[in-house]
A and B are shown apart, each in its own frame.
Chain A
Amino acid sequence: MKIAIVDVGIGNLGSLKSALKKLNIPFTICNDPKDFTGVDKIFLPGVGNFKEFMKKLQFKKLDLIIKDSVKKKIPIFGICLGFQILFEESDEDSPTKGLDLIKGKFRNFNTLSAKIKVPHTGWNECKIVNSNKLFKNIPDNSDFYFTHSFYLENYLPENVISKTNYHLDFVSSVFKNNIFGVQFHPEKSQSNGLKLIKNFIGEC
């Protein structure tokens, strides 16, 4: 099985690579469309700024290859910012279009109240709303590590796997056909996180 990790050159892929090594799952770092030939599963990790990330993705034409892969029913797994860009748009800096694969838009927690501390950083619980094979053998309300400032609005309830509470119940993981995404960092969430990564490889 060929497992791709999308690399746009921003942020650190180190912990995802370590997690896959720990699970004995071989992977290929892909930063050019031609690297994706024959790929079976795609990880789309990301940290940093939404606009910058989309710009880099488009510059390298990786946005097209991701959309193409989704059409070919290749399972894809967005993590953190890689989860956010699966959707229509984010308000980060100024409204910026995402990959538009799933319905929804991101807004900053501080638009709810100026008193909210951002980023939402630390361990928080995922309450399962629609059970999904991504969370197979992971108990309901398990803790995962989050660090982000934006939350999802205008989403479709049928896409939601789990919600997490931080001033409101926000969407912490989603699926749509062969697309999966989590707001938290499974690669930094110890045993539950490793289980989830394993589930994406083995079950999704």
Chain B
Amino acid sequence: MLKKRLIIVLTFLDGVLFRTKKFIPDYRYTKNFVGLYSIDELIVIDISKKKFSNNFLDTIDFFSNNCFVPITVGGGIKNLDHADTYFKNGADKIILGTGSIVEKNLIKIISGKYGSQSIIQSIDIKKNDNSKYKMSLDSGKNLSEINPLDAIDVALENGAGEILINNVDLDGSLLGYDIEIVKNLIKGKKCPFLALGGAGNWQHIINLFSETDISAACTQNIFHFTEESILSAKKSLREKRINIRN
């Protein structure tokens, strides 16, 4: 049986590991350490103003040489050259955000070279004044009128392999995932979905897996990046009969 995945998302500001709240850097971690041996996958995102700096590329290289799980890299990809740079430095997959929402051909171009399985489209969602989720653009700075469902359809048509539902409002909140929106966005879709934003305890992750058809739960804040906490999360999940890798 295919296992549910637990994925750690790490955001880097000028080469330093930060956590974020509502997409704004909030707290600098002093230890650049991740318990590498029981996480299922790693997502590394550059949130610096200046992208593709050597600092960040060295960070990708570090993870690529030290943890033998799939590494997805994102931050500022607007063309094939950008994607090439991340792949060349050790990314197994890349994550696209505003870049592929604005430039409709970007997914087609990148998947032509690296394959669909190497592309995750991030669907950054945020509620508007009428409490309706819309696509948030430019790292959470701008709210568009684009319906997330339409953005998902376009991404899949163009060849994205997986979709990340990234909830800007819940980023860093520790309030739990918005299960309803995850359910609505996944319904009837035929690719793996990942959810990020809100996980504050193991029960939140259990709820996400029990109540939705999500393939992976992503989290950045709740792990203190030690092997123990990842193992304890997995233990809790297994106790609730969530099919997860040891």
Contact = CB atoms under 8 A, between A and B. Distances in A.
A103 interface: no
A49 B112 CA distance: 7
Contacts of A121: 117, 161-162, 192, 215
Given A124-B1, A145-B69, A14 B190 contact: no
Interface string B1-36: 111110000000000000000000000000000000
Interface in A3-56: 10-12, 14-15, 18-19, 21-22, 47-49, 52
Contact of A48 (B65, B113, B245): B113
Contacts of B115: 11, 47-49, 81
Interface string B150-168: 0000000000011000000
A117 B89 contact: no
B184 to A, nearest CB: 17
A49 B118 CA distance: 11
B90 A166 contact: no
**A contact residues, range:** 35 or more
A166 B38 CA distance: 23
A15 B117 contact: no
Interface string A97-128: 00000000000001000111111111111000
B46 interface: no
Contacts of B162: 119, 121
A37 B161 CA distance: 38
Contacts of B90: 12, 14-15, 18
Given A10-B113, A47-B115, A149-B116, 17 more contacts: A11-B115, A14-B88, A18-B65, A19-B68, A47-B117, A117-B215, A118-B190, A119-B162, A121-B192, A122-B192, A143-B246, A145-B69, A147-B70, A188-B68, A189-B68, A193-B68, A194-B68
28 contacts: A10-B113, A12-B87, A12-B91, A12-B114, A14-B90, A15-B68, A15-B90, A47-B117, A110-B190, A114-B190, A117-B192, A117-B215, A119-B117, A121-B117, A121-B162, A122-B2, A122-B192, A122-B215, A122-B216, A123-B5, A123-B40, A123-B245, A145-B69, A185-B70, A188-B92, A189-B68, A190-B68, A194-B68
